[in-house]
Chain A
Amino acid sequence: MSITHMGVHVSSVTGERAMPAPAMNGIAIETRNLSIYYGSFKAIHEVSLQIKPREITAIIGPSGCGKSTILRAFNRMNDFVPGARAEGEVLMHGRNLYAPDVDPVEVRRRIGMVFQKPNPFPKSIYENIAWGARINGFQGAKRHMDELVERSLRGAALWDEVKDKLRESGYSLSGGQQQRLCIARAIAIQPEIILMDEPCSALDPIATLKIEELMQELKKQYTIIIVTHNMQQAARVSDKTAMMMLYEDTRAGTVIEFDETDTIFTRPEDKRTEDYVTGRFG
């Protein structure tokens, strides 16, 4: 009903025209020879990935191989780490997100993020959702904001549980509900891509299941990249899987195999991937 309405309000202010329309080559976002350094330490070695739109891409691999680093490179969250820098390119609609004229704030407006631990703002449930739209220039009336909040909460399968207590603190919810609130908060500003950094690692199995079901719904509209420790989760939810491992020479993480999830889990090409997914190490 008012999706277009909201689109007008939010996007026009943040300058959608600055970004060209989606390319027809069927790639939502792509890295080319992306290396990431923390000071002199090389954390990621030359990763090239092509992420398809409206698919779920899982990044798996042993601890400390740089999964989160790569995820945060997509929306330039690594900028906040002192001394972090990237080499290579991250391309979205053919534009390098690390080009000097790109404002990281605009990147994060297009690429939302859900964190490992649910982190609602210490504000009301309503405010948690409304704030993101407001700071991005939402100018609709109160009625439109109410609609946006409801639509976002419905989109995160949380509406029925919280519709009677929108004015209560986000922290009054359970862990799983908080995480869905964070997802609702992310989709309220209508990003194209949603990054999820181990979104279920702090949740119990039932809450995890709900988030996984939600992801299947979300992928109809959004491109999702998820980092997970849980290989069953990757196998259950994702369409593509990227297997990461420490690169032997430099001890920097790199993607050793990237393919359809079925292929990765049933007949991987790389012996290390096979060992990892069958639980022989990691």
Chain B
Amino acid sequence: MSAVTASSQLPEDRAFKQYLQGRRRVGWVWQSLFLLATCIGILALMALLYNVADGAFGYVAYEDKVDAATISDRPLEGLSQEELVAVLQANLSRGAFNKLDDEQPFAQRSQGDVYNLVLERVLQRKVVAAWSLTDSLTRRAAIEAELAEEHPNARLTFRSWLSPKFLQEPMSSQPLAAGVRTAILGSLWLIAITIAVALPIGVGAAIYLQEYADHTRWYNRLIETNIYNLAGVPSIVYGILGLAIFVRALEFFSSGAMFGVTDSNGRTIISAALTMALLTLPLIIVNAQEAIKAVPDSFRQAAYGLGATKWQTTWAHVLPNALPGILTGSILAVSRAIGETAPLIVIGASTFITVDPSSIFSKFTVLPIQIYTWTSRPLVGFRNIAAASILVLLVLLLALNATAILLRNRFSRRLY
């Protein structure tokens, strides 16, 4: 009796085969949708990279007000530092030359630095037009025609805006001479101090919340919920906090005044780094807590069973096992800080600075600020150096994430 009921309700033979085909079709549709989603993601990434690379390379046309041949019979690039200084001295007014010497003595300036000055002050080289990589590759004839018509004196060259020189030179008002050295150094200082401040505090808080805090108490749960929510607070809010506390209220500290630094205000690397530390702290705590939570309880039980104290257990077993996760999470949190612009604008990062940061009380700029400033300038050529600095920023981010992956693999191999 029951067998009959079952066979009438469960499909058999042909009906079953048809049903199976239907199930397979549904599965195929879902699989295609997932593939589509992945493809959209990859396309978006490729569009981003294309867009950046498109601006970072391409033809550029520039005009010299003064012909280089009238100044030196040899090409300017080949001159030594002393010869270039002589060129400057011969072609600039005495006052202008002395002013440059006052800013930074010529003896201390590099050949590239002086060369840039010659281009800028003597030749008065200006970019008159720049083309994207796509245009440069596909419309060469049209570009030449256009140039001959509008700027008959201009010279056309193919330029990689991203070059070793771009990495080595400081900021300049001329896109041809500008570089990102100060911004890279500023970013590295910022990351280093942010990690140094946020990592120990974040991991410490995570250990307390996960291993020590009694979760049956309402206030511990409240603290935890608040930290989770803080991770979602917009970064500009942290900027305002940093401005009020680190830049203004703690100016005697953040300007370095209490350590004898006199020529500064609170808008320094340390203010920015502390703000970034605040910004990344909730993320680090949440990530580290998850990593600690993922350590199997059996290790803790085994350690306690041997008469270990909580601290011995945490130090010898919980932390080493959570370390890969803590490091990965923290570095991902910090790499978010590298790309942050909004809080630094609020804090007052310098948008034009040619001096390398030398201490935590230096004025500074960072890559995202540079990109932001350059993209907002109307002059021809700035869009291209912005694109080049985006590439630099991306490489920096990739390097940091690669470090995270290497560290994780290194530490997880040691286990089991």
Interfacial residues, chain A to chain B (CB-CB below 8 A)? 14, 75, 77, 80, 82-83, 105-106, 108-110, 112-113, 115, 117, 119-122, 131-132, 135-136, 169, 171, 182, 185-186, 189
Given A82-B216, A83-B216, A112-B301 contact (CB < 8 Å): no
A109–B312 alpha-carbon span in the complex (Å): 14
Chain A: CB-nearest residue to B415:
A122
Smallest CB–CB gap between A71 and chain B, Å? 11
- B298 to A117, Cβ gap below 8 A? yes
Closest 4 CB pairs of A and B: A109-B307, A119-B298, A113-B305, A132-B306
Contact A119 B304, beta carbon cutoff 8 Å? no
Q: Which residues on the B side are within 8 Å of A82 (C-beta)? A: 214-216
Count of residues in B whose CB is under 8 Å from the partner chain: 22
Q: Which residue of B lies closest to A113 (CB)?
A: B305
Identify which of A108, A135, A185 gathers the most chain B CB atoms within 10 Å of its CB. A135
A sample of 16 inter-chain contacts (CB < 8 A) reads A75-B305, A77-B305, A83-B216, A105-B308, A108-B306, A109-B307, A112-B305, A119-B302, A122-B299, A131-B316, A132-B306, A132-B308, A169-B415, A169-B416, A171-B416, A186-B306
Q: Which residues of chain B are near A189, meaning CB under 8 Å?
A: 306-307
Q: Does chain A have a CB within 8 A of B317? A: yes
Least CB distance from B412 to A in Å reads 10
Given contacts A108-B304, A171-B416, 18 further A-B pairs with CB under 8 A are: A14-B307, A80-B300, A83-B216, A105-B308, A105-B309, A108-B306, A109-B306, A115-B302, A120-B302, A121-B303, A121-B317, A131-B306, A135-B306, A136-B307, A169-B415, A169-B416, A182-B302, A186-B305
**Cβ–Cβ contact B306 & A185, under 8 A:** yes
Chain B residue with the shortest CB-CB distance to A114: B305
Contacts of B384 in A (CB 8 A): none
* Max chain B Cβ within 10 angstroms of own Cβ: one of A105, A121, A189: A121
Contact across chains for B317 and A115 when beta carbons are under 8 A apart: no
Chain B nearest CB: distance from A69 CB in Å?
Answer: 14
B321 at the A interface (CB under 8 A): yes
Q: Choose among B299, B304, B309 the residue that contacts A80 (Cβ–Cβ < 8 A).
A: B304
Compute how far the CA of A105 lies from the CA of B415 in the bound complex, rounded to whole angstroms. Answer: 27
B220 CB to nearest A CB, Å? 11
CA distance A62 to B317 in the complex (A): 34
For residue A132, which residues in chain B have a CB less than 8 angstroms away from its CB? 306-308
Complex interface residues of chain B between 276 and 310 (CB less than 8 A to chain A): 296, 298-309
In the complex the two chains form, what is the Cα distance from A171 to B302 in whole Å? 14
Contacts of B416 in A (CB 8 A): 122, 169, 171
Which residues of A sit under 8 angstroms from B309, Cβ to Cβ? 105, 135
A80 surroundings in chain B (CB, below 8 A)? 300-301, 304
Which residues from chain B contact A75 at a C-beta distance below 8 Å?
305
